[in-house]
Each structure stands twice: as C-alpha cells, then as structure tokens.
Structure 1
Amino acid sequence: MDTLSVWRGTAAPTGYAMLSGDVTCDVLIIGGGITGVTLADLLAEQKTANPPRVVLLEADEIGTGTTGNSTGNLYETLSSGLRQVADKWGAEVARQVVSERRTAVNFIEERCRLLPDVGFRRCDLVEWADAAHNEAIRQEFNALTAAGCAVERGSSIPAPLPPAEGEVLVLRNQAQFQPQAYVVALARRAAEAGCTIHEHSRVLEIDHKAKRAVTASGSVTARDIVMATHSPKGVHLVHTEMPVHREYALALEWTPDAPPGPGTFWWKATEHLSIRRLQAGNRHFLICAGQEHKVGVHNATAGMIALENLAKKYFGERPVTHRWSAQNYRGADALPYIGRNHSGCFIATGFGTDGLTWGTVAARLIAAELLGHKSAFADLVKPGRLSPVKGGKSILEENVLVVKQLVKDYLTRPQNEKLAALKAGDSAIVDAEGETFAAYRAPDGELFAVSPVCTHVGCKVHWNSVETSWDCPCHGSRFRPDGTVIEGPALSPLKRKHTPDLAQGDPAA
C-alpha cells in the first residue's frame, strides 16, 4: 500500500547531500523533523561574534518522519485533554502548559510570515462526543476555562460531521498549517544562515562520552548532541515510561464549498475522528485521522479499513487520495521529556499526538539552554524527573505489557509457514534450517528474511501490513523488510538472512 501522506505529496522536495567524512561542530542535531529543524534555525540565526556551528543529520529526508505524517494542527491544549495535566499536576501547571504551547503556536505563525507557501491560518478547534463521553467534554471545558483559554460552548455541529449528543466545546484562535512545507522551508532558512544539513545520513552509533555520532559514510563530533528523533536513540530510562501508538490517517477528495469550513474538529466518541480541510494548489482534501493503536500488537489493515469505513459513513463515497500513519510516544505523567538526560545528550520525546506544538516548545527550550538562558518550564519537563504518584500507574502498565509481550513471543511457536511457500505480499515468522526468521515476499517476488529479534532490547517484531514494516511492540522500533531501521530507539538493523540458499534448502521448496 502506498503510504505517502498528503503533506509529503504536496510539498516541495529537498536535496541535501549525505554526510561524507569526519567533521566537528558545536551542536549536532540528530533528526530533521519540526524539533530538529526549528532548533537548527534558532541556533543558526544567532548574530553573535562566534555563533554556534550546527550540523543536522537526517536519516531519510527532511520532515519525512512524524512531522510529515501528522495532521498539521496547532493548538494550546492537548489531544488527550488538558484536564489530565490539571488532575495530575494542578491548575497552575496546566496554565503553564497552555502558555508554553500558545507561545509556540505564535512563534510558528511569526516564522510562517517569513516562509513561502506553508498554509498557516488561524481557526477554531471544535470538540464534541457521544452521550457516553459527554462528562469528559464538560471536564475539559472546565480545565480550559481555568487555564485561561478562550473556550466557549457551541450549540451544534455542521453536517456531514458526526452529530453531537451533548455539549460542544469551541476553543478559539488555534491554527493549522502544512507541516511538511513548513519544515522544508525552515530547513532552507537555517541552511542559508549557516547550518550544515545532511540527509540520508542515519546515525548507526553514538558515543555519549566522546560526543560522537557515526553514520555509514562519516562521523560528527560535537560539544553537545541533541536527539530530536521523536524517541531517543539507544537505551534510555524514558523508554520504560512511554506507551507507543500508531494513528492512521487518510485524505479524501473534497469540493471547495462543501462543509465543514475551516477548523480542527475532534469527535471524541467511542469511535474517534480528527477532521480538517486542506487546499493544495487547485486541489481540495478532507483529512481524517482515527483511533490510536498499540504498536506491534494491532492489525494495521483492520485499523485502516475501520477508518475508511467511518469516513465513508459520514462523508460518502469519495476517492481516497492518500493513506498514511504516524507514531507517538506519550509521557507517563501527561508531560513530555525535554532536556539533557543521564547520557549527557539532549532529548525531546513523550509528545503524544501533540508533537508539532510540543516539538516547537522543545526546540525553544533546548536552544535557550544551549545559549545560556534556561527556562523555568524546562525544570518541569526535564527527562530525569521521577513522578511515581503522577505517572506510576502508566509506567507500571507499560512495563507489564512489555514483559507480557516478551514472554508471549518467546513461548509462542512460529507460524506453520515455509519460506518457499510465501506468496507475493505475504509475511510470516518462519522456521528454516533450525533458525527462526521474519520473512516477507515482495510483490515482485523478492524474498526478504531477517532476524525477528529487535536490536533495541530483544523483543520480537510483528508485521505491519499497511506500512510494510516489522514493528516492535515493546518500545516502538520499526524496520523495513530488509531489516533497515525506520524509526524508534533501535540503532542497528535486523540481521539480514541469506534467503536464496534457505529457500532452496527448505523441505517445502
């Protein structure tokens, strides 16, 4: 299945060279999403006598990770509810969260005035539910009001959106943009100001003590390393605290005058939908994102089909132009992890599905600290905090799930499949010559066989039929059929097996 997002499909391409050779700099940024690119821009624009020398390494192309697979919505609240922050941390912290996120949205708006064709606009965020979830909407209204947000009660929802069965919450003056176009343009601005950007430069090894990152074609040694990789690379304590989910999305062909109008629409019912419109040139799209699914243990095809059926139910038989998904890591205590951790590197993770705004907050916080102006909010979200009362239940649940998954996968026998028997498009965990393999046969007939053991902490990977990837249910590492790392904390690829000999020696061949 083609999973190119509508953002990536309608934005300009990039073309930065791969890292070649060994270089040194002041700040190395790993990751070319909104966090890394914003940080690069903030550091590169410094007009001091000795501005920091900045290098940014992106494993693939700028924005092609979570940023280019998001919903493009910007807001001062949280998709999981500001009430969670208020419940765990109190009203004052909730106000601080709103203030930081509101400032970040304003910052993006200011940057967008300097950048071409990034589609920024102010709009309302509308939230409603079915009868079973009306109490949550009421509590959210109260939390937003207490935090000083411009929130009102609405009276109805425009067709063809799912109807409201109770209160409607309207949060004024939020925003939307084209996230891929934004980071591409912002990266160009940073590069013109002196930042060195390298694409197709995946980091394979990080020496935290020497502050050195190694790629297949070179290395970078820096005074400071920032892992703006959505989930920090390698093994870190925060991995034990963060549930990992995927969210599927699609774009429908739409007509210019058809409702709904401008706005971000969240239907928080038993079935969940996030809805917004997009105009790209002369084309109009309606974008729908569905429910979250636990990485590695869900049926990806069923999740995408459920979203398509829901979109069809409310918006009719419209052509689906794009299908995609994105991964999110949620902080155990409702706040992200931003700052320097035990490794000595800066990390920025735990954003949930609010990463465009949190990523901008993170870049501003890290830039301030690197330039000697640490923010008070930085102490609140520092990675080393321990909040057993606020996040203990989530941490326990996540680690119980990881242990269960490890035990289940190592006790469960491989599927009764043989390598040579796999048909085009099929995948399976199989036995061959006394070994177990994660195998996939591509539509052109090529057979890929790799180790099924994730190189992060040893969990068994599971097949994602929508993204054509092997996904780890423990901490969210994902791999291509040939074993190459796509995302997540894993640094090393799954070991590739020599398939021709195996297939020929297979009893079923």
Structure 2
Amino acid sequence: MLKQSLWSSFATAPAQYPKLEGDIAVDVAIIGGGITGITAAQVLSERGFKVAVLEARSIGHGTTGHSTGNLYIIIDELLSSLKAKYDKGVVKRVLQSRKDALEKIEQNVRNFQIDCDFSRQPLFLYEDANNMKILEERKVAEEIDLAFTELAEDFPFEQDMGIRLENQAQFNPLLYVLGLADALDEERCSIYENTPVRSVEDQEDRVLVYTDDAIVAAKYAIHATHTPKGLELQYHTTLGPYREYGVAARLESNSYPQGIFWGYYNNQKYSIRSYSRGGEKYLIAVGSPHKVGQAESNRKHVEELVAFLQERFIVGQITHTWGGQNYKPADLLPFIGRKEKNSREFVATGFSTDGLIYGTLAAVIIADKIEDKFNRYEDLYEAARHEPVKSAKKFVKENANVAAEFLKDLSFKGDDKDLEGIAPGEAGIVTRNGEKVAVYREENGGYKIVSALCTHMACMVSWNNVEESWDCPCHGSRFNTSGEVIEGPAFNPLPKKIIE
C-alpha cells in the first residue's frame, strides 16, 4: 500500500467543507475541487457569479495533491514533439499561454498570501547517453527564440548534454489549492466535500447536476475532473489514461541544487526536485508511466523508482510514495471549452502531466467564455475541435489498445478458485455463475466483493496491487475496494455482489 503524497503530509489542518444535502440554484456548478475547479471558482466569483464547487472527496487531494508541484512553460512531451505537429506560431502561443498561467498562480500566491513555498526556479533538461532529444529541443528553442543556456561543467548529475531554462517555478500544489479555496468569497462561492456527482443533464436553459442527496440547478456546469464524467466518447477516444508514481526521501546533504531536473536515463524520463519545509529536506523523483490498469505489477513500478533514487543520490529513508494520473491528448493540446457547440457544459481535459498550468489556464478561458468575453487562446484549445491529421496515429494506437482490452474481457474465463485462495490484503477476479466479480480479501479475513465490470463502459477492471484499487484499462476509471469511484469518467460505483 502506498504512503501519502509528500504534499498531503503538510496539510495538517485542511478546511472542512460540508456535504451538499439539499437542492440549490447557482450560476455555475463546478464538478471537482482541484486546481482547475478552485481557480475557476475564484475567477468566476470575483466577476460576480454565484458558484458551487462539488468535490467527491476532499478539496485538492485528488490529482492536484498527487502532482509534482513543478510549473514550467514548455510541455511534458517537449517542444520538439509539438513542433512536429504545429507551426512555429502555434508553439509560441502555447508557450505564452502557459507563461500567463504561471504568472496567474504567482499573482494568486501574492494577492492571497498563500503559504505554499512558491519559488522561481530553473528547469534543466539532460540526457545520460543519447543526445537526440536535447539536440532536437535546442533546435526548436532557437527557432522560436526561447532563451536557454548550456549546462555548467559542475552540473551535479551524470549527463552528456543538457540545457537550462530560467524563471520556471515550484510550489506545494495542495497547500496552494487549500489556500486559494480558503480565500474565496463565501457569499458568492459555496464548497461541498464528500459530494460525488452521479449524472449531469444539459437542458435548453439550464444544467441539472445530480448528487446522491441533492440537485444543483445551474446556468452552466464545468467538468473540472481531469477527464469529463460520463460517456463523452469524443474525448475519451482521443485521450490515453496513464499513471505514474512519485517517491520522496529525506536528504542526507544540504548541498542539493535547486531547480526542476528532467533527466533521460536509458530513454526514460525522470522528474527530480528537492523540497524543504518545517526544517525537513526531501528529494523527490517522479516517473515510471504506464497505461492505467495495464501494469503487470504496479508495485514493481514503485520499487523501480525507489531503486533509481537510491542508486543515484545520497538519500536517507523513503518517507513518501504516491501515484498520479494523467490523460494524454492525441494531438498534444488539451481540450478546453464548451463540450459541444451550444452546450451549457464546459470541459477541461487532456492536460497530460501539465495539469497545474493547464488547469489554471482552463479556468480563465472557461470563465471568459461564460462571461461571453473574448480570450485569445480559446481557439487554440477549442474543446470541440477535430484534428484528424495531427492526432491520427495516436488516435489509432489508443483505440486499438482499448479494443484489445475489450476482447481480452470477452475471452476471460475466470480462475474459478475458492475465495480462500486469495490471501489477506490481496485480490482477484473470480467467475461465479457466469458472472465476473472482483474480490478483495481484508486483513481480518473478510471479503469485499463487487462487480468486475467498470460502470463507465463495462470493461473489466484490473487489480492495482500497490494502491489497492480496481483500475479500468480502457478509459482510466478507478475504484476502491468497496467499489466507490476514485477517479475517471465513471459516475457510479461498482455494484456490490454477494457470493453464496
């Protein structure tokens, strides 16, 4: 079982918000209380809109609280990948939009005096052997006039080539979101925790958002859930759901250099940074990406990341381990805006691992659209766009992968083993009376048994042995051992089952 994220360990007294238990009416209903949802609430409430934020669990403790806390203007897939699909003008606009979002975060930290360890830092890109990625990145940076410098001779990590970009940033993302939520105007913005949304009905003159105990009537709704909830196939078929892990260890030395380090070791990227708070110093490594629900052993991914950290750096005890999820768009740009041409629902998805920047950017773009105000980036990230040439190859790859998972489900016979064959703390898919069920055995010997078919599109879930969750390999929905939704497009929990 994973330990908590490093960021969660410093959120010692987060604000407690009530559960929504009665019908309400607002201007904008925001589904999700991460950086996208809370930033949208801040922007909209400041502009005079009445807003309600509906968070299924706790504010900031989802994707935002499991991110790296790095803020940068280039993209996770690198500028060279972007330049391979778009012209120089588009690449420049992407960088400028991300720069604007970074400055918006810095402005919020300053204006609301948020104690989240925000600091400007350089970003380093380097490779230990193959120089092709760095050479391509240098070429694009020169072409678009992005200033960079070569690495100094005393660069602390093993590398053959690298570049340095100044004036990027880092912070504690969970403390930032909690601080921003605390600064919201209570007269115009209500926040509700432990309030999962079960369905959304887009009507001609309003949107109805249904929770377990209430209905929210709104003029508009924002899906700030990292991926749209429900059967939004126009997005789910162009997004690849991925998970990766983070580990943190106590630093044994005070001389560790500051900055964001992206190192390519054997062609695999690792994000490395240090963090200090309360007199404690940590080194963080994030990496080992894989498709959700398709790892042979999630535990092995974490073990490999721990080994990477311990073999290359002087660190002490591993103090934190956590997982994070992202959705990679086929054409490399996120989808931000109206779900459909005349829809009252807005989406913000396809952020890859750049959700802190893109979530902030999405909040401003969507707020402008709701206010009927022009935003200079709205066409760049148009949610209803279709780019068949730019996304064709990845679109085919992702959907072939999903089709393969469905076919795998059809041929699955089940192991038909006795429940006693599942060890305490472990789980398995069992076939009983022709039905697939997901069985988790508790440490005390009891069982939690739920349907093995994801409530999104009936793909069979897979056991995640390090996070103790049921993960869907098709579109990335995840469920706890009781069947409740953790994240992803699924609205509803896995139905509970009884085996006689």
Correspondence for 1:199: 193
Give the secondary-structure state (helix, strand or coil) at the position aligned to 1:238. helix
Correspondence for 1:312: 310
Correspondence for 1:43: 44
Query: Partners in 2 of 1:380 and 1:253 — Cα distance?
Result: 42
- Cα shift at 1:416: 4.4
Give the secondary-structure state (helix, strand or coil) at the position aligned to 2:394. helix
Query: Partners in 2 of 1:369 and 1:349 — Cα distance?
Result: 16
Contact persistence 1:43–1:54 (CA under 8 A) = yes
Query: Partners in 2 of 1:467 and 1:148 — Cα distance?
Result: 43
Give the 5 Å matches for 1:227-246. 227-236=223-232, 237-246=234-243
Question: Over aligned residue pairs, what C-alpha RMSD do you find?
Answer: 1.5
Correspondence for 2:52: 55
Alignment of 1:455 onto 2:452 = no
Give the 5 Å matches for 1:344-493. 344-493=344-493
Contact persistence 2:83–2:140 (CA under 8 A) = yes
Query: Partners in 2 of 1:115 and 1:370 — Cα distance?
Result: 28
Give the secondary-structure state (helix, strand or coil) at the position aligned to 1:378. coil
- Cα shift at 1:9: 1.3
Contact persistence 2:4–2:321 (CA under 8 A) = yes
Give the 5 Å matches for 1:76-87. 76-87=73-84
Contact persistence 1:436–1:451 (CA under 8 A) = yes
Query: Partners in 1 of 2:51 and 2:315 — Cα distance?
Result: 49
Query: Partners in 2 of 1:311 and 1:409 — Cα distance?
Result: 37
Residue identity opposite 2:293 in structure 1: G
- Cα shift at 1:367: 1.1
Residue identity opposite 1:443 in structure 2: E
Query: Partners in 1 of 2:185 and 2:53 — Cα distance?
Result: 10
Residue identity opposite 2:384 in structure 1: G
Residue identity opposite 1:331 in structure 2: P
Give the 5 Å matches for 1:142-181. 142-156=139-153, 158-159=155-156, 161=157, 163-165=158-160, 167-181=161-175
Alignment of 1:127 onto 2:128 = no
Give the 5 Å matches for 1:293-304. 293-298=290-295, 299-304=297-302
Q: Structure 1 residues 220-229 or 268-277, which shifts more?
A: 268-277
- Cα shift at 1:316: 4.3
Query: Partners in 2 of 1:317 and 1:337 — Cα distance?
Result: 40
Correspondence for 1:118: 116
Give the secondary-structure state (helix, strand or coil) at the position aligned to 1:131. coil
Query: Partners in 2 of 1:193 and 1:273 — Cα distance?
Result: 44
Correspondence for 1:292: 289
Cα 1:329–1:157 shift into 2, 3 Å: farther
Query: Partners in 1 of 2:446 and 2:14 — Cα distance?
Result: 29
Correspondence for 1:339: 337
Correspondence for 1:32: 33
Q: Which string of whole-angstrom CA distances, capped at 9 and with x for unpartnered residues, describes residues 66-88 of structure 1?
A: 10000000000011101222111
1:217 corresponds to which of 195, 199, 213: 213
Correspondence for 1:186: 180
Give the secondary-structure state (helix, strand or coil) at the position aligned to 2:28. strand
Correspondence for 2:17: 16
Query: Partners in 2 of 1:335 and 1:193 — Cα distance?
Result: 35
Give the secondary-structure state (helix, strand or coil) at the position aligned to 2:316. coil
Q: Which string of whole-angstrom CA distances, capped at 9 and with x for unpartnered residues, describes residues 262-290 of structure 1?
A: 10000023243111111121111111101
Cα 1:399–1:157 shift into 2, 3 Å: farther
Cα 1:477–1:379 shift into 2, 3 Å: same
TM-score of the two chains, using structure 2 as the length reference: 0.95
* Poorly superposed stretches of 4+, deviation over 6 Å: none
Give the secondary-structure state (helix, strand or coil) at the position aligned to 2:19. coil
Query: Partners in 1 of 2:145 and 2:336 — Cα distance?
Result: 24
Query: Partners in 2 of 1:146 and 1:341 — Cα distance?
Result: 35
Contact persistence 1:418–1:431 (CA under 8 A) = no
Give the secondary-structure state (helix, strand or coil) at the position aligned to 1:376. coil
- Cα shift at 1:24: 0.5
Contact persistence 1:36–1:56 (CA under 8 A) = yes
Residue identity opposite 2:24 in structure 1: V
Contact persistence 1:155–1:168 (CA under 8 A) = no
Give the secondary-structure state (helix, strand or coil) at the position aligned to 1:400. helix
Query: Partners in 1 of 2:2 and 2:94 — Cα distance?
Result: 37
Residue identity opposite 1:201 in structure 2: T
- Cα shift at 1:382: 1.0
Query: Partners in 2 of 1:108 and 1:267 — Cα distance?
Result: 26
Q: Which string of whole-angstrom CA distances, capped at 9 and with x for unpartnered residues, describes residues 303-333 of structure 1?
A: 0011011111112462111100100001110
Correspondence for 2:222: 226
Contact persistence 1:115–1:186 (CA under 8 A) = no
Q: Which string of whole-angstrom CA distances, capped at 9 and with x for unpartnered residues, describes residues 102-158 of structure 1?
A: 0111111111112231110001000111322x1111111222233332312213464
Structure 1 alignment gaps of length 5 or more:
none
Q: Which string of whole-angstrom CA distances, capped at 9 and with x for unpartnered residues, describes residues 479-498 of structure 1?
A: 01111010000001111112
Contact persistence 1:76–1:98 (CA under 8 A) = yes
Query: Partners in 1 of 2:465 and 2:145 — Cα distance?
Result: 44
Residue identity opposite 1:366 in structure 2: I
Using the aligned pairs only, state the percent identity: 38
Structure 2 alignment gaps of length 5 or more:
none
Correspondence for 2:277: 280
Aligned residues: 491
